[in-house]
Structure 1
Amino acid sequence: MKLLIGSLWIATVLCAYWYGTSQVNPHQSAGPGSVNSLTDTAEPGRHNVTNSETLPIDEETGAGPEANTGSAHKPVTVDDAVAQTQALLGDMGWSPTMASIAKAYAIVSQLNLEQTLAALRQLGYGDSPESLQINMLFINRLAELSPLQAVDYVNLNVTGSMQKDGAMATVIATWADSDPHATLQWYLSQPEDTRQQAMGRFALGGLFSSLARQDLPAAISSIETDFDANDFEAIDYAVSSTARNLQNTEDFEYLLERVQAMDNDSALQAVFSSWLTKDPDEALARLDLISDPKQRQAIEERAFRSWMVRKPQEAADRFMQRAAPDQRQSRAKVVVESMSFNQPQQALSWLNRQTDIDTQPLTSELISRSAYRNPQFADQNLHRITEQDNLTILTSRIYQSYSRYSQAKADEFLSRQSPAVREQVLTRLKRVEEIRSRG
């Protein structure tokens, strides 16, 4: 759960940054300076303001002056920036709307370096959802103005490994957006143990996304020369981020040729996963040229699993079209496994349309996989299971899943089952509890 929340938080912050920058026209960010300390140096050429001045906000749109070109420009104060962002985001927990984040970004993006540092001091650091969301906006602004100071701020002030990893990844992504080459050199200069930590892995996403957009040859060359060939995880992150930013066949061919020389099937799969979403015909034609059948099949399956998360219907149909008659059952299982977690109803609808496979074991697989996250779906479709042993196992899983949310709901679900099934479920759960109690 903590990992899920952390991932969603990171995604929200990054989305807010890209959405916010597309909606407003903030002052140009200062490039990374040579200073690497938290000093309160004012941004050159920027007017320093007092806390008595008022931040103008449009009453209807909530947008700041730079998002509302019709209003007269007035300087921003630290007090107003903090108060307005707290008003916009203070009660939204982990789920602020993109509109609210964009409005808050429009305010924060007007601060200069001295003001941004002052705002962070005024806010202090807290680990509640609201505090993290608000602090990240100001940390992001600091990264735009002075990336090295933002790095220092995160290292000195952000607590909690997940929060620190996410904050550092956001700082590096923001820095890389304006100067990916300088960001890469800084990253490579860090101690190996720092780069091996989660921060280093998360950071590769934003770093190589920006580098690939601005200088694809440099991105690929760095992957080839700056990483240990046995550091498969780092290479995978870098290649995945690079591939996601490619758009045309020539660039994918160029990346694929270089990755094939790395002897890293996971990186190959990452290339094909992105290529499939952009141009399935070209990607599949190139995939079929891999001479080793086992390697080709493994890469194909992993790439299609990734595609099915993004476009389940199209990917599932294409995956099955490529199946030999003796492969259709095993491939259908891959489809169900890939779709069951996020799209169980789509997976069931897809199964119901299949006419040349045994759908009963796959329906059982679908219900089993969906039970933990979506007990209601599993409950509603439990009647499709006819094999007694499977019925008992699946009923137990649904009961346990309901119990995590509501014991009353779990008991009500169990009461609807046949007496024989209820007895078997309770016996099974009692046996599991006894095993657990024995350690």
Structure 2
Amino acid sequence: MISKSVAISILACCLSFCAGYLTKNAQIDTDIKHVEQGVEFVLHQPKSDTNSDLSPSTSNNFSEPTPEVLPKQFINSDLDDFLSLYQNANYLTIPNRALLPLYAKLAQLDEYQLQQTAAELIEQLPGAAVAKLLGVTLEVLAEQQPLQALELALNISNKEQFKWSYAWSVLSVWSTDAPLDAYQWYAEQDFSQAHFKEFGTQHMVATAVLSGLYSYDKSLGVAKIAELAQQGKLNPSSLSLISNSINHSEEFATLLNTLSNSEHNVGVVEVTGEWFSKQPNDAAAWLNMLSEEQKSPRMLRQALNRWSESEPSQAASWYIEQFSGEKQLVAISEAASRFASEDPKQAIEWVDSLGRNDTDNAIEDLLQRASYDNPDFVMSNLDRVSDEKRKLSLLQSSIYTIHQQDVARATKLIDASPYKAELEAYIKKVNSY
């Protein structure tokens, strides 16, 4: 549809050929107003259908320009200003706020112009400012034509260190905007092909695509996750990352029940750990209903580690209840050591609260763990250790930690210790590695 300003311009042309230059100026003013409208314009643009075939390309097969094309020179001026301002900057020191206006400017270009801009920037690689601007350009193009943006990213011949990030930016946009299309593309790809070399492994791609699909349709997402896990196309790390986006216990339970019923049982431990980090009491109730065969030591230890991040005392008490006899004694040491990484004082109080007379190993283990971060606490509790060899080992570890932070203080402590010779020999030995 011809805008009001354009109609006025056409009418002016009809009235007087001599006033053409006025019409041109009016059109430029109109175009500038369009540029300043920002991102809102592009958010209402219809997305084009995507083609699932993506293969290496040696030429730029750009789309034909649309009938109404915004003059690109106005955008180029802003891009050139950015490149000039940050031409000598480090990639990590270019602030994100400097990129925000460029998103709005680039959003006013059509897909043909965006492809042209991306191709021009690719020719200018490497360079921090160029790399940043290329990433923004490809993201904006991905909102209109994700496959074209992905093809440009994957076929960059320059061995620039941020190359992999371009494809991932595009995939993130696509997986969010059109998760079904992104998943269909993923399912049809052969990741052994050379043009995927800089893109990462199939597991990494699956993580991004399935995260978007799960956010879009949880039931479909779980079904596809289970299907790919059964086929061995997902690894535990992928499932852990995918479950990062889950925040409700019923969703965790659904996913875990599905994975538990699969032949490979892959990812159950990792997803369980994510659940314990967010809703530990619900996760503990679910785990308690499992059979003893299903409660693997690795799963229980993962639960302890993740729960201890928020509630170490509750995590420790729950953990030791999962064992009996000699195994429980080992569990007390494991729980105490993990507790000590959060708060050694409360950890030793927790062990004492058990009222047992067989926790010497647990005390020694938690002090050993505390020696890496809280050496002064360890040195003030060495009287809890009866074995002289173990006491010396704890003292050596604590003195070394202090030595790393304050050599003068460590030297004074060594000089005043009855174990001076042993401590000096230990420090010398460790420093020689």
Are residues 185 and 275 of structure 1, via their aligned partners in 2, closer, same or farther at CA, if it must alter by over 3 Å? same
Matched-pair contact (CA < 8 Å) for 1:367–1:382 = yes
For this pair of structures, how many residues does the alignment match? 356
* 2:42 is the counterpart of 1:27: yes
- 1:361-396 CA distance string (max 9 Å, x none): 32332443x5xxxxxxx6776755743333334544
Counting only pairs closer than 5 Å after superposition, residues 102-251 of structure 1 correspond to structure 2 as: 102-124=100-122, 126=125, 132-157=131-156, 163-193=162-192, 198-226=200-228, 229-231=231-233, 234-251=234-251
Q: Distance in 2 between matches of 1:424 and 1:385?
A: 23
1-side partners of 2:381 and 2:158: how far apart? 48
Deviations 1:118-144 (A, max 9, x none): 433444465666554443222322322
Aligned match of 2:79 in 75, 78, 81? Answer: 81
Q: Give the TM-score of the pair, scaled to structure 2.
A: 0.66
Higher relative contact order, structure no. (Cα contacts within 8 Å, ≥ 6 residues apart):
1
Structure 1 gaps, min length 5: 1-22, 54-76, 341-345, 371-377, 403-408, 434-439
How is 1:272-287 mapped onto 2 (pairs within 5 angstroms)?
272-287=272-287
Q: What secondary structure sits across from 1:183 in the alignment?
A: helix
Deviation, 1:94, is 2.6
TM-score normalised by L of structure 1: 0.65
Q: Distance in 1 between the 2:103 and 2:272 partners?
A: 35
Q: Is the 8 A contact 2:204 2:238 kept in 1?
A: no
User: Which aligned runs of 4 or more in structure 1 are off by greater than 6 angstroms?
Assistant: 379-382
Quick one: structure 1 residues 95 and 50, their matched pair in 2 at CA, closer, same or farther if it must change by over 3 Å?
A: closer
1:330 paired to 2:331: no
| Aligned twin of 1:4 | none
Does structure 2 conserve the Cα–Cα contact (< 8 Å) formed by 1:94 and 1:130?
Answer: no
The runs of 5 or more residues in structure 2 that have no matched partner are 1-37, 322-327, 353-358, 383-390
State the match for 1:20 in structure 2: none
Letter matched to residue 243 of structure 2: A
Could you give the per-residue CA deviations for residues 71-110 of structure 1, whole angstroms, max 9, x where no partner exists?
xxxxxx1331353477589757436666555455444444
The two structures, once aligned, show a CA RMSD in angstroms of 4.0
Shift in alpha-carbon separation, 1:244–1:426, aligned structure 2, 3 A: closer
Are the aligned partners of 1:305 and 1:334 in contact in 2 as well (CA < 8 Å)? yes
Shift of 1:424: 1.4
Structure 2 CA distance, aligned partners of 1:248 and 1:261? Answer: 21
CA distance, structure 1, for counterparts of residue 41 and residue 307 of structure 2? 36
Q: 1:249 to 1:395 in 2, by over 3 A?
A: closer
Q: In the aligned structure 1, how far is the partner of 2:349 from the partner of 2:160?
A: 46
For residues 128 and 425 of structure 2, the distance between their equivalents in structure 1, rounded to whole angstroms, comes to 43
How far does residue 417 in structure 1 lie from its aligned partner after superposition?
Answer: 4.7
Distance 2:333 2:79 in 1: 59
Share of identical aligned residues, percent?
Answer: 14
Secondary structure at 1:27 match in 2: helix
Structure 1 pair 247/392, CA: closer, same or farther in 2 (3 Å)? closer
Tell whether the 8 Å contact from 1:85 to 1:107 is kept in structure 2 after alignment.
Answer: no
